[in-house]
């Protein structure tokens, strides 16, 4: 097959430029091919489309992708970009060689451009606090035995939109301790207009909060011991000294602060969970934290095996009271954990990421990005039962092609 070098070179584009693509094939076509020209029997775009189509059809490894592709009809192969007259398709090793050389940052940038364009209508601006974006790191456990040998990244830091159920951006890191190092790079890939950043306490940093607000977004973080001064201020606000203690110290009782509250009760799966939140704007006027508008305390109580447990978390947000009520803050904070059960768990268990031993070069990150793409495509099409839809696609390859915006009539 004759290969034509794409005119768009993402590596040469400004770092803050967000690319936009009308379909997934166009996003893949924008990537420069790192292989030697004489090794390009199959285009990089076709290999990536085949991998995406195979995973959409419940064939979860590179070997399974090569076998799935070889079993398809000549029309399906041609629709994916494989035009050999006898229907010849690439071997597993061809996929491995191509993916391990691919620049994963360029792939992530192209995918972000495609899904952001698909999620936002032209000329439409999101209003404030429309969507919440959770960021969290994840380890690919199948690669752990190879870490000492290869020194390749084991962790990926991901930005996940709770409302869309989609991954918007992802970057690789060397280990969990390096999450803060690459977090600014991850945030720079996301359009923050009208969005709220949520994350673990490790991400409660002045630089990250300022970066998001400056880009048109907001933040909502839990505060722990990594910010001791801020944590102490919040603790003193919600647990003022008792009258007896003030009397002993010789101080007058402070004026009562204005606090708003909300409560949620959930029952199910044999347990009861009660969440209460107290919110105040008291610290907004004199706190040194950038763009701070409200602070909160969340008390969570739950029953498990006949015993009650409780925990208390303190937090901050740039959202003012007129934009975010106590109930809203409670929902957004709890929704942050959707990144665990709607993304990490699905990738590990349903898409087989934990079992994958792929470890050479950029291959693991490339395949991880395609797993994100598969989830995005399924949820973009309105499918919530991921396992059932993968089984359906395995029996109907044209259904998988339809999710890729490919039809045999247009091939």
Same domain, yes or no: 183 and 267 = yes
Domain that holds residue 75: 10-102+381-410
pTM above 0.75, yes or no: yes
Same domain, yes or no: 181 and 67 = no
Give the residue-averaged pLDDT of 350-362: 81
Any domain includes 325: yes
* pLDDT higher than threshold 80 for residue 245: no
**Percent of the chain whose pLDDT exceeds 70:** 84
The per-residue pLDDT for 11 is 36
Please, are residues 95 and 156 in contact by the beta-carbon 8 Å criterion?
Answer: no
Same domain, yes or no: 163 and 292 = yes
The three-state (H, E, C) secondary structure of 27-55, written as one string: HHHCCCCCCCHHHCCCCHHHHHHHHHHHH
pLDDT digits (tens, 9 = 90+) for 230-242: 999 999 888 866 6
Same domain, yes or no: 117 and 141 = yes
Same domain, yes or no: 129 and 202 = yes
pLDDT band at 284, cuts 50/70/90?
confident
Same domain, yes or no: 166 and 125 = yes
Mean per-residue pLDDT over the chain, rounded: 85
The per-residue pLDDT for 78 is 92
**How many Cα neighbours within 13 Å face the side chain of 283?**
26
Burial 69-82 (b: 16+ CB within 10 A, else e): beebeeebbebbbb
Any domain includes 1: no
* pLDDT higher than threshold 90 for residue 205: yes
Structural domains of the chain, count: 2
Of 14-23, 339-348, 353-362, least confident by mean pLDDT is 14-23
* pLDDT higher than threshold 50 for residue 186: yes
Most confident of 121-125, 253-257, 299-303, 328-332: 328-332
Give the residue-averaged pLDDT of 356-374: 86
* pLDDT higher than threshold 90 for residue 204: yes
pLDDT band at 129, cuts 50/70/90?
very high
């Amino acid at each position: 097959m004759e290969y034509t070098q794409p005119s768009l070179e993402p590596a040469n584009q400004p770092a803050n430029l967000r690319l936009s693509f009308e379909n997934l094939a166009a996003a893949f076509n924008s990537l420069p091919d790192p292989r030697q020209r004489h090794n390009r029997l199959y285009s990089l775009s076709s290999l990536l489309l085949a991998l995406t189509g195979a995973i959409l059809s419940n064939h979860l490894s590179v070997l399974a992708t090569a076998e799935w592709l070889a079993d398809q009809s000549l029309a399906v192969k041609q629709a994916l970009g494989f035009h050999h007259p006898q229907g010849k398709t690439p071997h597993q090793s061809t996929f491995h060689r191509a993916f391990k050389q691919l620049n994963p940052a360029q792939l992530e940038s192209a995918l972000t451009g495609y899904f952001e364009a698909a999620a936002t209508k032209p000329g439409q601006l999101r209003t404030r606090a429309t969507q919440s974006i959770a960021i969290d790191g994840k380890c690919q456990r199948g690669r752990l035995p190879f870490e000492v040998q290869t020194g390749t990244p084991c962790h990926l830091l991901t930005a996940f939109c709770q409302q869309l159920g989609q991954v918007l951006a992802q970057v690789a890191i060397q280990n969990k301790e390096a999450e803060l190092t690459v977090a600014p790079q991850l945030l720079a890939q996301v359009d923050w207009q009208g969005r709220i950043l949520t994350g673990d306490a490790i991400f409660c940093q002045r630089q990250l909060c300022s970066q998001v607000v400056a880009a048109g977004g907001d933040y909502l973080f839990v505060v722990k011991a990594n910010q001791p001064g801020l944590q102490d201020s919040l603790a003193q606000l919600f647990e003022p000294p008792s009258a007896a203690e003030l009397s002993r110290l010789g101080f007058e009782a402070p004026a009562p602060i204005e606090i708003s509250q909300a409560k949620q009760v959930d029952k199910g799966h044999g347990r009861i969970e009660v969440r209460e939140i107290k919110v105040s704007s008291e610290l907004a006027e004199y706190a040194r934290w950038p763009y701070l508008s409200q602070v909160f305390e969340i008390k969570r109580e739950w029953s498990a095996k006949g015993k009650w447990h409780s925990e208390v978390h303190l937090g901050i947000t740039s959202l003012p009271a007129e934009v975010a009520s106590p109930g809203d803050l409670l929902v957004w904070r709890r929704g942050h954990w959707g990144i665990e059960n709607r993304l990490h768990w699905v990738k590990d268990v349903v898409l087989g990421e934990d079992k994958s031993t792929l470890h050479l070069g950029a291959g693991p990150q490339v395949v991880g990005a395609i797993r994100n793409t598969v989830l995005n495509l399924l949820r973009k099409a309105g499918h919530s039962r991921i396992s059932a839809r993968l089984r359906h696609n395995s029996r109907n390859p044209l259904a998988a092609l339809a999710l890729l915006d490919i039809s045999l009539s247009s091939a």
